């Protein structure tokens, strides 16, 4: 049998399967998706089996064998192997890079050199296949020698006890014998093997099982002499247990002694065994069980369509567009229940930041132990154990951030993507995939339904539901638009290109549950405040609002829109700003350490007292960081209790949750923060939401600036008045006339979209086309310019040959434009100059393939001194 293996070398030259012989001892175990160790170019590497073949591509004699099968159960499934292949084509990356994204970090093994005593080889090899982690110990003893060469007893015994033992460990422990070790290996007294070991192993604990023979145990309790009181107590206790108890817990919890438990085990009355234990981050936490709520009429309609689609086992995509508080989560929960009842599994994606205890509680409360939670704040071991619950079919639901889309379920019925417009669904490093598009592809493989949920859908998803050719609403649009007050949007009938792979069905939830009103939103023009003599960062309105809440004992949330905005240092005399010496970007001022830091490369320096350029003392920091807002609050409202939530206060594991839980317990009056405070929080005593400066993200050189601003304002406004107490929202801005501010005031997504689509259409941006951003970088500018120009020229030639190099303004269905090369918005990063090309295309153009072809000549050869080319398909961040 021949296995086709993708080896873990992320280079383009090796981006294809290599053939390996499968020896008979492994043949029954190896499957598509198995992780193996294989010899490759003189090394041992990890790889994945992607298929089998009858005939090898190399001659028989040169065919090497798979060295080791690394897991008894393959970590990947055939559909994931196929999905990785699709990702490598779609996102222009190597197959192995895509495969690596699918497995937990614990399985990203490292090759290590091990040695064992040669004569024990047979025994070692047997136990190896039997048990991955626990090797049988060598039992032979006695001086080992070969000719003149002999191992010191101490060394030999150590090796025998540990066998096989890491070579590095031996070298470290016995430096005086390193020469001897070398000779022993050369002479064959010791044998070396290279093995891939997991970073983290399954955790094993000693567990005590209740007596198998109850009668004998009961008799023993009755017969035990008085001096064995401890043993009697232990046995009696275990007789009452129905489940096995971890030894540690038995000793600590029940106050029994280890010796008495062991004595009972020796007598055969109890059984002690090693068992696997999950590192469960939610262990010991009780979740209140919640029953399904009777759905409202609107919820029912949406649920009905989702449930029917899941039952049909036909792949489909639905856009659940529901205002904040419209009960989307309840719809998800009930749809998942249906899916589970049909014997299928569900994946729920939420933005990392929304993986708060509140969200987890709702899912655990409904589905209990059937839920695995995957997020990046878990330790490698905890994450591995949650992942194993999925792979070993112990759970039916996986909830997690972006990469949970690769949860190794075998029969997926439903994939939910909550807050689908969030940029965190796009991975910014290779593989640069978008979880939404991967979800659609995975659903295709499983005949599953994808539900995209949002109050403010991305324009791409909205277009897929409403504007895409053949979408249900592109021509008619009866029911849907009735839900928006009978207005039918007037869109052009021109075919719209969406980043999404297929069209979607729109399911609207335009009202809050229980008829709660949307909070009133007030816009404050900060220019007028300044004219009126108010120089503070708080308008009179917001100041008053905060004072009222303090007096009534209610809570407030303050948002500082910090996207692309930070505190920087500037000289008021000459205009000098402190920039990073490695990146062309301003340094950010940090109050606590009084240091300047680069957010891109980490460069740190002391904040200057005088201007390095002109020597003036009028150098100071500008911008409104969260720290400054906090100081200002303390000055204006002495004694006010503020919880600040930003990148500085949430670096520690669990800190995010801790801060929120303190706020939930009303241990603070104000929750102040960046984007983090806008998402998914639900606190009954929050009656005021203030946005300090709405505009800071509006003027970024990014075509999504207005969309992001609208989404943020709408999200944060949704935090107020979700319960009995009515809510109030105050938005401070310098551009009150901008449509993204005005429409968010009225919670009017439709009007926003209508205006925004007009702009996108005029400027040819998604959803009217798709984009690929190619970034080239090098330390030397001339070399970079030359390669960038060659690349762009080659790409234009290829597009022309394919007959698609046509202006997007034309009426052609298939069109592609190559813009650039131009300097990137951040023209230098980590000492490398950066240029970029933007490719816009629509129709049946395979732009990714053309880009790959044009880039290929520049990507081959040695890495040193080369221009690096990064390819980002459907980029979310243009900066
Ligand atoms: P969304 O996810 O759309 O923001 P939620 O699912 O958080 O909305 O629902 C908002 C509130 O309404 C929650 O407190 C939820 O428990 C409640 N809720 C949802 N559906 C119902 C229902 N059918 N009946 C009563 N309350 C509901
Ligand atoms: Zn830098
Ligand atoms: Zn100066």
Question: What is the pLDDT, as a whole number, of residue 721?
Answer: 67
Find out whether 320 and 302 touch, Cβ atoms under 8 Å: yes
**What is the predicted pLDDT for the residue at 563?**
47
Answer yes or no: is 93 a known binding residue: no
> Whose atoms come closest to the Cα of 828: which ligand?
2
Strand segments (E) across 635-718:
642-645, 670-673, 686-691
Confidence of residue 130 (pLDDT cuts 50, 70, 90): very low
pLDDT for 500:
58
Q: How confident is the model at residue 725 (pLDDT cuts 50, 70, 90)?
A: confident
Q: What is the pLDDT of residue 574?
A: 77
CA of 524 relative to ligand 2 center, distance in Å: 36
Q: Is 274 helix (H, G, I), strand (E, B) or coil?
A: strand
Return the domain boundaries, the chain: 2-109, 113-197, 204-276, 297-513, 520-763, 770-873
Q: Closest ligand to 574 CA?
A: 3
Ligand 1 contact via 598 beta carbon (within 6 Å): no
Atom of ligand 1 nearest to the CA of 323: 3
CATH 3.30.70 fits 770-873, yes or no: yes
At residue 478, the pLDDT reads 39
Task: List, for residues 460-499, the tens digit of each pLDDT value.
Answer: 999 888 876 555 443 333 333 333 333 333 344 345 666 5
Q: Where are the beta strands (DSSP E) in 92-246?
A: 110-117, 145-146, 149-150, 165-166, 190-197, 203-209, 245-246
Q: By CB neighbour count within 10 A (0-12 exposed, 13-18 middle, 19+ buried), where does 784 fall?
A: buried
Pick from 82-96, 333-347, 494-508, 671-685: least confident: 494-508
- Out of 253-257, 334-338, 797-801, pick the least confident: 253-257
Q: Which atom of ligand 1 lies closest to the CA of 326? A: 3
Question: Is 580 flagged in the annotation as binding?
Answer: yes
Note the pLDDT tens digit of each residue in 551-570.
999 999 998 866 444 567 77
Question: Does 601 belong to an annotated binding site?
Answer: yes
**Cβ-contact 117, 78 below 8 angstroms:** no
Least confident of 202-216, 357-371, 397-411: 202-216
Q: How far apart are CA 738 and CA 756, in angstroms?
A: 11
Tokens coding 608: 């200057």
Give the CA angle between residues 683, 687, 688 to the nearest 5°: 115
Nearest CA to ligand 1 atom 5: 327
**Considering the chain, what percentage of its residues have pLDDT values greater than 70?**
85
- What is the Å distance from ligand 3's center to 878 Cα? 32
- Most confident range (mean pLDDT) of 350-364, 655-669, 797-811 is 797-811
Ligand 1 atom closest to Cα of residue 418: 2
Strands 642-645 and 670-673: parallel
| Higher pLDDT, residue 470 or 751 | 751
The reply to whether CATH 3.40.50.300 applies to domain 297-513 is yes
Backbone angles phi, psi at 604, to 5 degrees: -130, 140
- d(C-alpha 77, C-alpha 67), whole Å: 21
**Average pLDDT of the residues in 450-454:** 97
Residue 826 has which token pair? 């951040």
Ligand nearest to the CA of 324: 1
* Model pLDDT, residue 664: 87
Could you tell me the distance, in angstroms and rounded to a whole number, from the CA of residue 330 to the centre of ligand 1? 6
Q: Which of 242-246, 271-275, 831-835 is most confident?
A: 831-835
Whether 141 has a pLDDT exceeding 60, the answer reads no
Query: Band of the pLDDT at 139, cuts 50, 70, 90?
Result: very low
Higher pLDDT, 643 or 488: 643
Confidence (pLDDT) at 355: 64
Quick one: pLDDT at residue 442? 96
Residue 855 burial (CB count, 10 A): 21
Question: What's the mean pLDDT in 706-734?
Answer: 83
> Ligand 2 center to residue 354 CA distance, Å?
29
Least confident of 101-105, 480-484, 573-577, 721-725: 480-484
Measured at the alpha carbon of residue 490, what is the angle toward residues 316 and 758, in degrees to the nearest 5? Answer: 90
CA of 326 to the centre of ligand 1 (A): 6
- Who contacts 738 (Cβ-Cβ below 8 Å, separation ≥6)? 695, 698, 706, 709
Query: 408-446, pLDDT tens digit by residue?
Result: 999 999 999 999 999 889 999 999 999 999 999 999 999
- The pair of structure tokens assigned to 395 is 């759970």
Model confidence at 797: pLDDT above 60: yes
pLDDT confidence band for 163 (50 / 70 / 90): confident
* Other CB atoms within 10 A of residue 472 CB: 17
**Separation CA 597–CA 704 (nearest Å):** 27
Cα-to-centroid distance, 575 and ligand 2 (Å): 20
Positions of E strands within 358-442? 371-374, 397-400, 412-418
pLDDT band at 617 (very low <50, low <70, confident <90, very high): confident
Pocket test for ligand 1, best of 304, 326, 327 (most atoms within 8 A of CB): 327
- List all residues 6 or more positions away from 599 whose beta carbon is below 8 Å from its beta carbon: 566, 585, 588
Q: Would you say the CB of residue 324 lies under 6 angstroms from ligand 1?
A: yes
Total number of residues shown for the chain: 879
Summary mean pLDDT of the chain? 83
Report pLDDT for 484. Answer: 36
pLDDT, average across residues 32-37: 93
Asked whether 295 lines ligand 1 (CB < 6 A), one says yes
- Residue 769 marked as a ligand binder: no
Q: Do 770-873 and 297-513 fall under one CATH topology?
A: no
Q: What average pLDDT does the segment 159-167 reach?
A: 79
Looking at residue 129, its pLDDT comes to: 34
Identify the pLDDT of residue 844: 87
Between 73-77, 178-182, 335-339, 645-649, the lowest mean confidence (pLDDT) is in 645-649
Transcribe 449-516 into DSSP letters. EEEEEESS--HHHHHHHHTSTT-TTTTT--HHHHHTTTPPP----S----SSSS--EEEEE-S-GGGP
CATH number of 520-763: 3.40.50.300
Question: How much of the chain, in percent, has pLDDT values that exceed 90?
Answer: 40
At the top level of CATH, the class of 2-109 is: alpha beta
Q: Is 339 annotated as a binding residue?
A: no
């Amino acid at each position: 049998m021949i296995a086709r293996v993708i080896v873990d070398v992320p280079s383009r030259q090796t981006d294809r399967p290599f053939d390996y012989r499968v020896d008979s001892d492994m043949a029954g175990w190896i499957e598509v998706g198995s992780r193996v160790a294989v010899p490759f170019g003189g090394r041992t590497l990890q790889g994945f089996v992607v298929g089998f073949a009858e005939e090898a591509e190399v001659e028989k004699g040169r065919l090497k064998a798979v060295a080791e099968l690394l897991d008894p159960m393959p970590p990947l499934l055939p559909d994931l192997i196929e999905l990785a292949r699709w990702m490598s084509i779609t996102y222009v990356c190597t197959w192995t890079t895509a495969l690596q994204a699918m497995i937990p970090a614990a399985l990203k093994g490292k090759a290590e050199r091990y040695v064992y005593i040669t004569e024990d080889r047979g025994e070692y090899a047997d136990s190896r296949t039997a048990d991955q982690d626990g090797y049988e110990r060598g039992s032979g003893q006695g001086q080992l020698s070969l000719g003149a060469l002999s191992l010191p007893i101490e060394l030999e015994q150590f090796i025998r006890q540990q066998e096989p033992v890491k070579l590095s460990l031996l070298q470290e422990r016995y430096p005086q014998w390193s020469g001897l070790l070398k000779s022993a290996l050369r002479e064959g007294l010791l044998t070396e093997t290279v093995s891939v070991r997991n970073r983290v192993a399954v955790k094993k604990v000693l567990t005590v099982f209740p007596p198998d023979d109850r009668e004998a145990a009961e008799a023993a309790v009755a017969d035990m002499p008085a001096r064995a009181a401890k043993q009697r107590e232990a046995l009696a206790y275990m007789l009452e247990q129905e489940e096995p108890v971890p030894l540690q817990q038995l000793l600590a919890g029940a106050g029994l002694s280890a010796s008495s438990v062991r004595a009972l085990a020796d007598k055969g009355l109890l059984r002690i065994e090693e068992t696997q234990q999950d590192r469960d981050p939610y262990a010991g936490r009780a979740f209140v069980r919640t029953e399904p709520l009777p759905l409202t009429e609107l919820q029912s309609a949406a649920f009905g369509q989702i449930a029917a689609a899941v039952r049909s086992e036909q792949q489909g995509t639905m856009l659940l567009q529901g205002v904040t508080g419209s009960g989307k989560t309840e719809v998800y929960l009930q749809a998942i229940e249906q899916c589970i009842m049909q014997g299928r599994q569900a994946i729920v994606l939420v933005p990392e930041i929304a993986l708060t205890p509140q969200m987890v509680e709702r899912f655990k409360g409904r589905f209990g132990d059937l839920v695995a939670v995957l997020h990046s704040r878990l330790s490698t071991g905890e994450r591995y154990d949650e992942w194993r619950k999925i792979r070993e079919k112990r759970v039916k639901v996986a909830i997690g951030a972006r990469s949970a889309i690769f949860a190794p379920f075998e029969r997926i019925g439903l994939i939910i993507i909550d807050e689908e417009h969030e940029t965190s669904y796009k991975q910014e490093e290779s593989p640069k995939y978008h979880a939404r598009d991967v979800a659609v592809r995975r659903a295709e493989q499983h005949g599953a339904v994808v539900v995209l949920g949002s109050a403010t859908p991305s324009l791409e998803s909205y277009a897929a539901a409403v504007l895409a050719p053949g979408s249900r609403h592109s021509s008619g649009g009866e029911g849907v638009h009735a839900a928006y007050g009978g207005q039918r949007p007037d869109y052009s009938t021109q075919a719209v290109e969406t980043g999404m792979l297929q069209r979607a069905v729109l399911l609207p939830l335009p009202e809050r549950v229980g008829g709660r009103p949307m909070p009133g939103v007030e816009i404050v023009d900060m220019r007028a405040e300044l004219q009126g003599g108010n120089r503070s960062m708080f308008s009179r309105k917001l100041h008053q609002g905060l004072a009222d809440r303090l007096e009534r004992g209610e809570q407030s949330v303050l948002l500082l829109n910090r996207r692309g905005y930070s505190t920087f240092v500037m000289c008021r005399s000459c205009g000098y700003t402190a920039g990073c010496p490695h990146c062309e970007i301003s340094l950010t001022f940090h109050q606590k350490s009084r240091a300047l830091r680069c957010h891109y490369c980490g460069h740190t320096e002391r904040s200057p007292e005088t201007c390095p350029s002109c020597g003036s003392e009028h150098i100071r920091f500008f911008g409104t960081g969260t720290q400054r807002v906090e100081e200002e609050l303390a000055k204006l409202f002495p004694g006010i209790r503020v919880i600040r939530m930003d990148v500085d206060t949430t670096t520690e594991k669990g800190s995010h949750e801790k801060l929120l839980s303190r706020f939930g317990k009303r241990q603070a009056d104000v929750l102040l923060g960046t984007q983090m405070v806008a998402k998914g929080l639900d606190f009954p005593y929050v009656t005021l939401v203030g946005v300090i400066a709405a505009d800071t993200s509006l003027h970024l050189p990014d075509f999504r600036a207005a969309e992001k601003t609208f989404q943020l304002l709408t999200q944060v406004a949704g935090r107020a008045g979700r319960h009995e107490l009515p809510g109030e929202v105050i938005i401070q801005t310098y551009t009150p006339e901008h449509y993204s501010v005005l429409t968010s005031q009225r919670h009017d997504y439709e009007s926003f979209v209508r205006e925004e689509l007009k702009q996108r259409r005029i400027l040819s941006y998604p959803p009217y086309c798709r984009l690929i951003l190619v970034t080239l970088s090098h330390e030397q500018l001339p070399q970079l310019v030359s390669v960038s120009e060659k690349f762009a020229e080659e790409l234009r030639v290829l597009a022309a040959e394919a007959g698609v190099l046509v202006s997007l303004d034309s009426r052609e269905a298939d069109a592609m434009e190559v813009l650039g090369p131009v300097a990137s918005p951040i023209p230098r990063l980590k000492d490398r100059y950066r240029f970029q090309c933007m490719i816009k295309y629509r129709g049946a153009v395979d732009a990714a393939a053309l880009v790959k072809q044009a880039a290929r000549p520049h990507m081959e050869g040695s890495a040193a001194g080369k221009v690096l080319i990064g390819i980002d398909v459907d980029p979310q961040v243009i900066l």
